Structure 1
């Protein structure tokens, strides 16, 4: 199932563009076009990179949701049912392919950020922790996106269903600090799931992680993963 999904990704340039290249384009746009307008107390590339890592996870989710829904609506599941194939493998293959794509996108984004002057003070342990948080987020987002894809009625609506996940990081501390936002939006940014995840990554890259943010970030990731898994499994069993 994983090999099948990877082949589909490779043959779909739009998915590769959205997952890998689009976060880099967003980073270039904000650093060079808008970075000088934000007073964040540090070089803007150092501030923005942790939030853009999260964006790199979110930008490939639309393709995953569409692929899952296509499997359900184009009859391939009926063919799998006649074969000795675990039903769980169908969903897990989509999630693992999504996670691998996210890891490649994050690696590409960090490489470009380093070329642009990104200068983290993180040690090896901090980088491993950043990778762990990013991996946990990718797994959680992957299962939730698979659930959205199964819930949608058509591939087109499945792609649209993932749009809120792509937009949500822009209403967090990814681009500017939450305390610089207006009333209402500031509170939303402070308490939504992505902000503690971003602040955890930002603290690790700065060698000053906050234990409270880290605990909240891990809790959100685990909760989203559990909800997404149970929802996806339930929807799959009903539709398959």
Structure 2
């Protein structure tokens, strides 16, 4: 369940009155199912609107006893039509927020799935800090090789940050292979491999981490320690 703030502050960020109350109702209803194979977590997007309140937000939301708690940095994406919004927090504020979260999350007793999620997220937070500070790909990106997105209109993107279509499956009779091996796809893969772009997108980062021995070792170490 995605919750970015508390009460009316959350509603203001989402632009929907009553959204916080509905999110809490949804979380409570899911938790009440009490199913052994169902893990219910809370997700917070850290933006310029809430980055300095993360400790208060975290303390409040953890009273709900989620099976996991994760955050993701707010980004300017073509997909979201928010490029130029300045929504991404700066390095110093973000670092203070996630350093606090990392310290607190290590103290929590999560379920098995929650522990695995935490192990990956702790490593991910470190990657995001480096990306914000160094302004480059800190580990190789495999967008367009190991991951991609298909938009509702059929456009295929290597990455939803740029949302630059390499083709449309509707134009190929839904033959994904034809789009995947197009000339434009090859050009964008070369651009990504050469490091022409960088971003802290969580979905792509998870895939990249699974292809990087150093980060996988870090995840394993987090799992053993916590």
Q: Which has the higher helix share?
A: 1
Q: Which has the higher strand share?
A: 2
Q: Indicate the structure whose relative CO is greater, using CA pairs within 8 Å and at least 6 residues apart.
A: 1
Confirm or deny a common fold (TM above 0.5).
Answer: no
TM-score (norm 2): 0.31
